[in-house]
Amino acid sequence: DIVMTQSPASLAVSLGERATINCKSSQSVLFTSNNKNYLGWYQQKPGHPPKLLISWASTRESGVPDRFSGSGSGTDFTLTISSLQAEDVAIYYCQQYYDIPPITFGQGTRVEIK
Amino acid sequence: QVQLVVSGGGVVQPGRSLRLSCEASGFTFSDYGMHWVRQAPGKGLEWVAGIWDDGSNQYYPDSVKGRFTIYRDNFKKTLYLQMNSLRVDDTAVYFCARDQEGGYKRPFDFWGQGTLVTVSS
């Protein structure tokens, strides 16, 4: 099974500042035949289901603000919030959908306002 | 608009069974793979079952294999999760989720609101 490890477990960032969340997979999630990384990022606010923000490591979903961006390849990935807004307070999860089953998630990163 | 309405949760004793339902609307249900994902109280996300768009293939993690069964009725536009031999550690909010368009191995682009399953004596 591919293990997804996120860091940090939590972070506090001032409004308008950058937030960076890391995700490392125990094996590569890059499919060389199509050069796609099978890696997604989700945002979950309290009492709500997760919401897909980023697919294929760097493709922002429709309607997601452009302050959210994803980068990385192979085993190391990053979700960046370029200018933190109050509504971005949430838990963020990475997910691999490359080597399945099982589909696996990181343990989550809690983002708060400093 | 896409909607996934989950129902069937509740309190059940260890060893008993429960069936969850996820009713879909706003999209062509039979064109999409579907999944169940759970979240224990205060914990992270755990995928528990997936099924192809036509229902021909189902897949599970080891933690539920042999106890849980995912299936679907494309005419009723409904996804199900039959949970047998429930254990205390199956206590969680259960979400259904849709595969992003395009086939197998996709992220989950829409999620239902979840239903709480509590396994307790």
B100 to A50: CB separation less than 8 angstroms, yes or no: no
Q: What is the mean pLDDT of residues B98-121?
A: 94
A63: left (phi over 0), alpha (psi -120 to 50) or beta: left
Distance to chain A for B61, nearest Cα, Å? 5
Per the DSSP assignment, residues forming a β-bridge with A21 are A79
A50 to B106: CB separation less than 8 angstroms, yes or no: no
A-chain CB neighbours of B45 within 8 Å are: 42, 44, 50, 93, 95, 105, 108
The yes-or-no verdict on residue B96 having pLDDT over 80 is yes
The yes-or-no verdict on residue B101 having pLDDT over 90 is no
B45 to A38: CB separation less than 8 angstroms, yes or no: no
Q: What is the mean pLDDT of residues B1-26?
A: 98
- What are the tokens at B93? 């909010």
The secondary structure of residue A58, as a DSSP letter, is T
Closest of B29, B35, B112, B36 to residue B77, by C-alpha: B29
- Minimal Cα distance from A62: which residue of B? B109
- What are the tokens at A78? 């990053």
Residue A70 contacts B, CB cutoff 8 Å: no
B114 to A104: CB separation less than 8 angstroms, yes or no: no
The residue of A41, A54, A59, A103 whose CB has the most chain B CBs within 10 angstroms, and thus the best one to mutate to test that interface, is: A103
Q: Distance of alpha carbon B103 from its chain centroid, rounded?
A: 18
B109 to A52: CB separation less than 8 angstroms, yes or no: yes
A52 to B46: CB separation less than 8 angstroms, yes or no: no
Q: Report the pLDDT value the prediction gives residue B19, as an integer from 0 to 100.
A: 98
Q: Report the pLDDT value the prediction gives residue B42, as an integer from 0 to 100.
A: 96
CB A40 within 8 A of CB A58: no
Q: Report the pLDDT value the prediction gives residue B104, as an integer from 0 to 100.
A: 82
A103 to B35: CB separation less than 8 angstroms, yes or no: yes
d(C-alpha A101, C-alpha A99), whole Å: 6
According to the 3-state scheme, what is the secondary structure of B67-94?
CEEEEEECCCCEEEEEECCCCHHHCEEE
- Between B103 and B105, where is the model more confident? B105
pLDDT in tens, B43-76: 999 999 999 999 999 999 999 999 999 999 999 9
Task: Centre a 10 Å sphere on the Cβ of residue B52 and count the other Cβ atoms it contains.
Answer: 16
A74: left (phi over 0), alpha (psi -120 to 50) or beta: left
Nearest Cβ partner of A49 from B35, B106, B111?
B111
B-chain CB neighbours of A104 within 8 Å are: 47
The yes-or-no verdict on residue B110 having pLDDT over 80 is yes
One digit per residue, the tens of pLDDT, for chain A of length 114 reads: 999 999 999 999 999 999 999 999 999 999 999 999 999 999 999 999 999 999 999 999 999 999 999 999 999 999 999 999 999 999 999 999 999 899 999 999 999 999
pLDDT band at B25 (very low <50, low <70, confident <90, very high): very high
Q: Report the pLDDT value the prediction gives residue A113, as an integer from 0 to 100.
A: 98
